Structure 1
């Protein structure tokens, strides 16, 4: 049943039955019958062409028949369905009289025109003349007829002219051959002229094409200049363009243009471009002119139009710049093949600096000077209307600009529009064959769908980065010239089930999408296609393989092993540092503490005591101290009486049993007293030494204490001072210290 219903709908679409409205009454009689032999620039036709009026009424099924009656033959006729017919050469004599008339007939009756009689040799009709304008004062036009080419002599021509915009023609008498002069024309008034001529034999030609001409004067008004920047309105890769002045403002023929280019470094150049050949800098069509000169580093431009009597006031335009976010407007387009309507919203706050808006459209991919137009409107207007040729499935970029009173041009917004994008309803809903696979077989089974235009496939599609369960896909947007409509979104899929719709950004040239929930270590093939109103476009595919995920147990084992190694290294380092600091590194304290000499050299003796048993002892000896040589000192106790004897008595060698020093003097005298001092005063002295006092302070304090002691014990240290230096007194160990060690 679905197939029958589809065929029934298709039959309705394909079959068109014309049912004109029935009209009552007989047809109107034909009028204005004219027969002639048409000529071109070189020869004339041998057949007779006849035309009449009025135009056939499409609501009346009327048929026409052209009848002729020569004087020396039988009557003939030919039928026609419109208001013209041809009498071929074999039905009449070349130099004979012929009478013709037309009869119109329908089911309600018939009607005849008035007859017309002529000689078949006298109905030659030459082509219309060609007019050549002469930009001079007074206004002069010239033309060329084709009588000489037809081997005929020239007769007179008829000239008609009127003021443009006024429908009243001013007709002149015949008598003009090749030229006509209009005396006392109104300044800057546009006149329309056309001419028709007759040769020595035959009829007058048709009217020539009308031409416009105005009285010569300095042009008035200003040029409407703008920038053609292609699809990037805020770029500096632009071409200067302007609209040609209307004749009412040109006041004659424009012979050239004067253009000034102002650069960012405050310099400028002047270009004088001529409309005459060769046009190396200027290219013009019927309505616009384009300057073939680079605008790189140009900040603004001015241009004027020139004729033989002067120039217009200069028009200025600045290079466009990007607008601010709050200035961006939303453009609404309404397009068909004949016109374009653009609307936008006014800003919420009035812009006092805004002078006017500029709306332009640019056909994507069109060459210079084609598919481009613009219009300037006031700051209170929100609608612009364009007339032109907007082809189907062809993208047009419409842009909105603002111009301030300081002549600053700012680009506000742009949008892509199409005059026709296809119909998804007709292509996918009405026709059952469209519900099958959308492939090449679809076009074979449904050939009537070929006119629906879908977008092409994205030019580039690939995997940007790949994980174990995800992949980031990258693709280039379909070019505007191949979109055939606004791209609404892209479809990305794995097979036929997993399909994702991704919105399309109209301004982005590249897109990305992250596809998740994949399996590790698997091969995949992903496709992408663009969607517009006509439906999906062709697919683009890419293949990839996800990464292999590592075993979780194996990963945990590796982490534990790594942690164990790190812990072992930390413990080893801590142990080594402990041993170094406590046993083999006393010099560390020496490095970080204040370097005050140890009066007792106790560390040296302790080191020597253990240097045999401790292998680290050699390491712990400071580098700056050489290994000491330990000598055994014999301690001899001297009686106090001997100390009180005279120097002479004490000099007796029998009283001294101790060994002599290097200078031959015994150094064991007074050891008992020194031992006592060591016992009684060692506590305070060693405390000061271990408190790290300065050497100078210890010397002063020891000397004061010795003086006090000498006074109390009646002990004179003068003899000891003769043989012992201050350094030895404070830093050499005493006998008691040696015994303590």
Structure 2
């Protein structure tokens, strides 16, 4: 049973489906329109018919025109394609019935019948139009062709429009041969057409379009003036710009602009720039113009437009409020290739000084005037809408400003928008700036805003090493106009080679990679130290030699000219700088000659000298006040005094001759003789000059040689 049902259903489908997809007959043509044209090349005899064919481009179709008298049977056929002419010999005056038939290989179709009287389808040529331009109106007149056919004038239609418009304004069934347009727009081109009929027949075709320009008047209103500062908003990059006047305000052909520039340090300048022969000072786009001189050092600007009849009142450029630009309000963008909608939040309380908002957009990297527009919005509104064509993957900076009643401009906010985002380009530069054992610092230049192709979400750092594998870091971007980026790679292996790649990422995906390679330093890298240490040691040796030479060198005759530091003689303790300085502090008014400048003078506050008791073979002088041979000398801080006796005695001792130290008059320690005779001789010379060879009684020879005697201390 199921098999029979399936066969029956299949049979039905085989019959229906081919019928559904089989080629159909042609569509029916439109109702034919017929007339008897008169004048010119037409003889007012034959009937001309036309219709709108509806052919199938894949299947050839033939069209034939059929007609017959309305009150007779049978027909006379004139076959033609797309149009047809019924010759006078093929019809009689009176009522006719006309139709069109379309036919192809799959069938035929017929239009509706057109029924008319041959006397009512006469159509004359269009009238001849003349134009008159008055000061306050436009007037046209025409000459109908009814007189040529000895017919009376019927009714006429007139239509007109301004140049560039698509729609016509039409007045119909006029009984006169003139028409006036009152109060036309000044200096505007108007287009006119006229058609007429006679007392019998059809209205003629429309005449050719006739143009007439209205009279100019002085322009009215003010120019919409603003500034184009590019992306930076720096005054040195700003140019004054203005929108062209619409036709309704220009009232004629704008011949040029007057730009008045006021400077802070010199007299104002009036520039007259012509639109007929633009100079370097004026550049005009489709809807606006700008002055090519920068606004740097300019305090105020005014612009006016003029034609042959007059000029507009000057429009002044609003002055920006000085100070650093900063974003104070959030704005929102909805942007595609044809529309840009900008919205913001109104303040809770509108300021009485607020006049309006200004919303502008600027193509990043574009020259002045190109990719730039602005609109002014009432202070009670919070939305601005732009119409235009916005490039794909191109950044546009959208900014919001306020203008006060005293023409002060305040920048509120700026954001970057894209109609469509793409994949960013490669970073311009990528390198390693510093390398250590376990970390390196990476540096790369950010992609310029004009080449970012979209919002850069982050820069991706990909690190590859044979030992550590692959690691990925995402570095966020703080600003779309950031100039450069740095990143520090940590926890690296010493002495290992690494390959690093970086790329920018947008919502459309990552861009191309930029690659660099480096090798970290080893743990113990003594190479630089080995090269530096010998140099340091050499400098230390030189410094020590120079110091010793400066320390031991005598500067005047009071100081020994020979270097005692390098003498083969045994040094004398009484020549100690400390001891001699002590003497100079109290006795020598010219002691500064022998004291090196670079050695500070010592200050001795308390000196305790212990004299040993005399031996049996030696005689000592002992003061009564010191029965035990102990003498205390207290020296306080006082003014420096000079005793030149020591210097004189040194000179005398040097003259005594041989066996002594020629600098200090003291024998070497190994040759010293402790005798009463020598001691007596030194005691006699003590009052004249300080002795440099007086011996002390000491327990040991070392103390006798290096330590000052008690008398020497007491004399001080």
Q: What corresponds to 1:469 in structure 2?
A: 438
Q: What corresponds to 2:341 in structure 1?
A: 341
1:583 alignment partner, one of 558, 575, 578: 575
Determine if contact 2:138/2:214 at 8 Å carries over to the other structure.
no
Q: Which runs of 5+ in 1 are unaligned?
A: 1-27, 37-46, 54-62, 77-86, 104-109, 144-155, 422-452, 622-630, 636-674, 691-735
Q: What corresponds to 1:222 in structure 2?
A: 222
Correspondence 1:665-684 to 2 at 5 A: none
Q: Name the stretch that deviates more: 551-560 or 248-257.
A: 551-560
TM-score (norm 1): 0.54
2:508 alignment partner, one of 520, 530, 534: 534
Give the distance between the partners of 2:283 and 2:129, measured in 1 at CA: 25
2:448 alignment partner, one of 460, 479, 486: 479
Q: Deviations over 1:274-303 (max 9, x none)?
A: 333456644444432233445443332101
Secondary structure in 1 matching 2:261: strand
CA RMSD of aligned residues (A): 6.1
Secondary structure in 1 matching 2:432: strand
Determine if contact 1:68/1:101 at 8 Å carries over to the other structure.
yes
Q: What corresponds to 1:374 in structure 2?
A: 374
Give the distance between the partners of 1:595 and 1:176, measured in 2 at CA: 138
Give the distance between the partners of 2:441 and 2:349, measured in 1 at CA: 44
Q: What corresponds to 1:272 in structure 2?
A: 272
Determine if contact 2:161/2:169 at 8 Å carries over to the other structure.
yes
Correspondence 1:243-642 to 2 at 5 A: 243-277=243-277, 281-318=281-318, 320=320, 324=324, 328-346=328-346, 353-366=353-366, 369-421=369-421, 453-495=422-464, 497-504=470-477, 505-551=479-525, 583-585=575-577, 588-589=581-582, 590=584, 591=591, 594-597=640-643, 604=650, 615=661, 617-618=663-664
Determine if contact 1:241/1:291 at 8 Å carries over to the other structure.
yes
Alignment pair present for 1:195 and 2:164: no
Indicate how the Cα distance of structure 1 residues 555 and 598 shifts in structure 2: closer, same or farther if over 3 A, else same. closer
Secondary structure in 1 matching 2:248: helix
Determine if contact 1:31/1:114 at 8 Å carries over to the other structure.
no
Give the distance between the partners of 2:221 and 2:85, measured in 1 at CA: 62
Alignment pair present for 1:69 and 2:65: yes
Secondary structure in 1 matching 2:453: coil
Secondary structure in 2 matching 1:248: helix
Give the distance between the partners of 2:574 and 2:139, measured in 1 at CA: 122
Correspondence 1:687-726 to 2 at 5 A: none
Q: Name the stretch that deviates more: 253-262 or 532-541.
A: 253-262
Give the distance between the partners of 1:498 and 1:515, measured in 2 at CA: 10
Q: Name the stretch that deviates more: 333-342 or 241-250.
A: 241-250
Give the distance between the partners of 2:132 and 2:321, measured in 1 at CA: 44
Aligned length: 519
Give the distance between the partners of 2:130 and 2:342, measured in 1 at CA: 40
Structure number with the higher helix fraction is 1
Indicate how the Cα distance of structure 1 residues 608 and 531 shifts in structure 2: closer, same or farther if over 3 A, else same. same
Indicate how the Cα distance of structure 1 residues 325 and 349 shifts in structure 2: closer, same or farther if over 3 A, else same. farther
Correspondence 1:151-190 to 2 at 5 A: 158-161=158-161, 169=169, 171=171, 182=180, 184-185=182-183
Determine if contact 1:138/1:182 at 8 Å carries over to the other structure.
no
Determine if contact 1:185/1:215 at 8 Å carries over to the other structure.
no
Shift of 1:615: 3.6
Q: What corresponds to 1:137 in structure 2?
A: 135
Indicate how the Cα distance of structure 1 residues 66 and 479 shifts in structure 2: closer, same or farther if over 3 A, else same. farther
Indicate how the Cα distance of structure 1 residues 354 and 613 shifts in structure 2: closer, same or farther if over 3 A, else same. farther
Indicate how the Cα distance of structure 1 residues 68 and 614 shifts in structure 2: closer, same or farther if over 3 A, else same. farther
Shift of 1:196: 3.4
Q: Name the stretch that deviates more: 340-349 or 211-220.
A: 211-220
Secondary structure in 2 matching 1:310: coil
Q: Which runs of 5+ in 2 are unaligned?
A: 1-26, 36-47, 68-74, 91-96, 103-108, 142-155, 553-564, 566-570, 585-590, 593-638, 668-676, 691-710
Secondary structure in 1 matching 2:390: coil
Shift of 1:250: 2.9
Indicate how the Cα distance of structure 1 residues 572 and 302 shifts in structure 2: closer, same or farther if over 3 A, else same. closer
